[in-house]
Amino acid sequence: MSDSFSARLEAAVSAIPARYPGAGGAVAVVKDGEVLIRHTWGYANAERRLPFTPSTLFRMCSITKQFTCGVLLDLFQDPTELDGDVDDRLPQLDEPAPGALHLAHNQSGLRDYWAVAMLHGAPIEGEFGDREARRVIDGTRTLQFQPGTSYSYVNQNFRLLSDILEDRTGRSFAELLQTSVFNPAGMERAILAAETRAMPDGTVGYEGTVESGFRPAINNVLWTGDAGLGASLDDMIAWERFIDATRDDPDGLYNRLTAPVSFLDGTPAPYGFGLQRTSMFGRDVTMHGGALRGWRSHRLHVASERLSVVVMFNHMSPAQVAAAQILAAALGVPYEPDRTTQQPLELYGTYLEQETGLSARIEPAPGGAQLRYLMVPEMLEGVSPSRAETPNVRVVRQGDEVRMERPGENRVGILTACDETPGEDIEALEGIYRCEELDEAEVTVELTNGVVYGGFSGILGNGRMEPLQRLAKDVWVLPCPRALDHTAPGDWTLAFERDAMGVNAVRVGCWLARDLVYRRA
């Protein structure tokens, strides 16, 4: 390792605690199978003054998904053997069920159960365990799209896989992880930490800011194959070294996990076996993040460079950004993209996507535009007055039509401009609407002295009432302060529909759970 390389990397890592302040954290960099950085700081538990060390157990959250798929591939050479098991676990589905590989590649077409739980009135900090998960999943009647044709991030895909693996083997998922992955990789402390209330060694996740102060985050979710991994920095280093040690074995576990994946039409897919496949700084990268209220983590691997980066925060700073900054330093390339040019655009406005019923807001931003459609805003660079894009999304105006192309999801959405004239009869929105798809779950819309509020109710209780924000005539958003995992699934779009008698229905959805029609009761 050259002096310049070492100095560059050390500087990048040393800047992380100040750049992303919080209770504590950990960073590792592995190159050519050797550990270059093994660094921790701060406290795993600030109240008990427990330091964050390389052996501290950390909640890895969705990074679990690749390990679930590792068990799947270790036990079943052909995962399609489990397709019938998937069908059995969706008893009310009235169309062909996805297969096991659709689950592993996030191509199932299922709606995400953490998001749907909010539509069923799940309390924001309420308990959500096996019973609640089964009630939500069992109620599935329709899919968002035909399995294999598109991509949508869905957590219960991996919960279903871990449940099926348990049933097929007669062994606990914790034991399966140990024998299929942890032991071969030398992950000595790693465990299935399904209960999110606390970690066995007392590590705590924190939420808040430097200005507001940090406080222990409250979580009451039971996780399995979707997000239940508990691991230390040393465990994750062992995983990265195992990847490097088996790099030349075509049957090696990570090589099988990163094998090319495609959609039904043959288009290459950017996600498979619990791993995102992307390009960063001109290199192919496999990676995944993890997040829960109070926790953020990210790991990435650049096979061509034999280079891995792991970042773990027990607070809610963007670990994926920190990992990218460290990777840039390791590669000796600039991190920040050039956004100095400002291209005037003709795309600004509020739209409804025809296929999903979701709102899309395009607003001015440095270098182009901000698209509010997913869980977090996407920054688009203006290419021409009628085109703005990132590597993941392109918004293009062609005549009177605006197209939103999302190659990673293998789909194109048509955006219809909304009538932004304020409606005068907001009283017509008031009422109770019921969704047949969700066992008659309800959305209640009420006016209190001219202010519109809405709330969801269903088999999990009565959600709290939230003020609605008007986007356009008959198009509103209901804020979701958080779902059952790390952040809200994005604002819920409420697109009200009318007939000759007035408002008769509302189409409800977010990116994780789309196109649900509620009829006026």
> Torsions phi, psi of 325, nearest 5?
-65, -40
Asked whether the beta carbons of 59 and 193 are under 8 A apart, the reply is yes
Residue 4 CB contacts under 8 Å (≥ 6 apart), including other chains? none
The verdict on whether residue 167 carries a ligand-binding annotation is no
Triad 438, 439, 442: Cα angle to 5°: 70
Residue 62 designated active-site: yes
* Cβ-contact 432, 520 below 8 angstroms: yes
CB 28 within 8 A of CB 53: no
DSSP H or E stretch at residue 183: helix 183-185
Evaluate whether 276 touches 286 at the Cβ level (below 8 Å): yes
- Give one DSSP letter per residue of 105-147, joined into a string: TT-S-PPPHHHHHHHTT--TT--B-HHHHHHHHHT----SS-T
User: Distance of alpha carbon 424 from its chain centroid, rounded?
Assistant: 38
Tell me how crowded residue 222 is: count the other CB atoms within 10 A of its CB.
18
H and E: helices and strands count for the chain: 12, 31
- 196, 162, 156: which is closest to 180 by C-alpha? 162
Q: Is there a contact between 459 and 128 (Cβ–Cβ < 8 Å)? A: no
Sign of CA dihedral 459, 460, 463, 469: negative
Sheet with 58-61, strands from edge to edge, namely 58-61, 229-231, 191-192
Q: Which of 65, 150, 162, 317 is flagged as catalytic?
A: 65
Among the listed residues 4, 55, 62, 150, the single catalytic one is 62
Active site residue 65: yes
**Residue in 107, 112, 61 with CA at minimum distance from that of residue 511:** 112
Query: Which two tokens mark 91?
Result: 């008893």
Decide if 123 contacts 221 (C-beta within 8 A).
no
d(CA 153, CA 162): 17
Amino acid at the residue 235 = D
The SS3 of residue 227 is coil
Biggest CA pair distance of the chain: 76
Q: What would the DSSP string read from start to end of 449-466?
A: TTEEEEEEEETTEEPPPE
CA distance 517 to 494: 10
Strand order in the sheet with 34-45: 50-51, 34-45, 24-31, 307-313, 295-302, 283-292, 275-280, 271-272
Question: Residues comprising the binding site for substrate?
Answer: 485
Active site members: 62, 65
Question: Residues comprising the binding site?
Answer: 485
